[in-house]
Amino acid sequence: MSERAFLPLGIAILTVSDSRTIADDRSGDTLAERLTGVGHRLADRRIVPDDLEAIRETVLAWSRDESVDVVITTGGTGFTGRDVTPEALEPIFEKRMEGFSAVFHRISFEKIGVSTIQSRATGGVVNATFVFVLPGSPGACRDAWDHILAAQLDYRHKPCNFVEIMPRLDEHLRRGAAGA
């Protein structure tokens, strides 16, 4: 039996911040370096302010773009008044990914202890596109990529991975269009 070949994905990175620019976006840099370093393609990268509509509109546009397979956001997952990334994205999730949050918090707990409860990291599917919502620290982005996303976004990872189910993410949409 031959090994599976690596399948590069188009991954878009959205940094949610009122104060960051591309020049000082260390969390976005961390994600971009890691995903391109293993062979994925940076499909797009943007920074939007902590604004519910701007976050939602950007992710929705990417979810409709055939060159984007995955969206990773960083920032806006805390509890301050400006932290609205989960509120922007969870209502548009077709399916929530509770396991991502649980595993992220387990990994984070090993690094920062109970302070992990100050993050509302989450994940889901929007228009057959995986969306991962990460905290705005480079460490959190590194942990999420290194310990979860690198494996799950690699077609070669066994026993299962997200890449192998991507072609079936929109089955419910196709069934509905066919009148079934």
- State the pLDDT at residue 33: 98
pTM (2 decimals)? 0.93
pLDDT value, residue 48? 98
Per-residue pLDDT tens over the stretch 37-48: 999 999 999 999
Q: What are phi and psi of 174, to 5 degrees?
A: -70, -40
CA distance 163 to 7: 8
Query: What strand order describes the sheet that includes 122-126?
Result: 41-48, 10-16, 70-74, 129-134, 122-126, 95-96
Give me 74's structure tokens: 């960083």
Write down the mean pLDDT value for the chain.
93
Task: Note the pLDDT of residue 178.
Answer: 52
pLDDT tens digits for range 129-165:
999 999 999 999 999 999 999 999 999 999 999 999 9
CATH 3.40.980.10, applies to 10-177: yes
pLDDT tens column, 18-34: 999 999 999 999 999 99
pLDDT-based confidence at residue 174 (cuts at 50, 70, 90)? low
pLDDT band at residue 1 under the 50/70/90 scheme: very low
**For residue 119, how many other CB atoms are within 10 A of its CB?**
23
Summarize the chain as % helix, strand, coil (round to 5): 45, 20, 35
pLDDT at 177: 53
Peptide bond into 159 cis (omega under 30): yes
Domain boundaries, the chain: 10-177
